[in-house]
Amino acid sequence: MSQRLVAADASTLPPEFDLRLRELLRSDVEFIQLIEDDLITAGGKRIRPRLALLASEVLGGVPHALELALAVELLHSATLLHDDLVDDAETRRGREAAFRKYGNAVSVLSGDYLLSRVLFLLAETGRVELVHLFAEAARLLAEGEVLQFQAAAYREYSEAQYYRIIESKTAALMRAATEGAALLGDAPRTLRKALAAYGRAYGLAFQMRDDYLDLMGEEARLGKPVGGDVQEGKVTLIALWLLEAHPDEVEPILLRRGREPGDVERLRRLAEVSGVAARVVAAIEERVEEARRALAALPEGPARAALEGLALAELERLQ
Per-residue pLDDT of the chain (319 residues), as tens digits, is: 455 555 434 557 999 999 999 999 888 888 777 777 777 766 668 999 999 999 999 999 999 999 999 999 999 988 887 666 555 555 445 555 555 555 566 677 788 889 999 999 999 999 999 999 999 999 999 999 889 888 888 888 899 999 999 999 999 999 999 999 999 999 999 999 999 999 999 999 999 999 999 999 998 888 778 999 999 888 899 999 999 999 999 999 999 999 999 999 999 999 999 999 999 999 999 999 999 999 999 999 999 999 999 999 999 989 7
Q: What is the number of H-type helices and E-type strands within the chain?
A: 17, 2
CB of 111 closer than 8 Å to CB of 52: no
> What pTM did the predictor assign?
0.91
CB of 280 closer than 8 Å to CB of 241: yes
SS3 of 172-188: HHHHHHHHHHHHHCCCC
Residue 223's region, left for phi above 0, alpha for psi from -120 to 50, else beta, is left
157 residue type, one letter:
Y
Q: Phi, psi (5° rounding) for residue 93? A: 55, 45
Per DSSP, 224 falls in state S
Element (H, E) at 217: none
Report CA torsion sign: 151, 155, 159, 160.
negative
CB of 166 closer than 8 Å to CB of 208: yes
Return all residues near 189 (Cβ < 8 A) that are at least 6 apart: none
Element (H, E) at 171: none
What does the alpha-carbon distance between residue 152 and residue 162 come to, in Å, rounded to a whole number? 11
What does the alpha-carbon distance between residue 106 and residue 238 come to, in Å, rounded to a whole number? 36
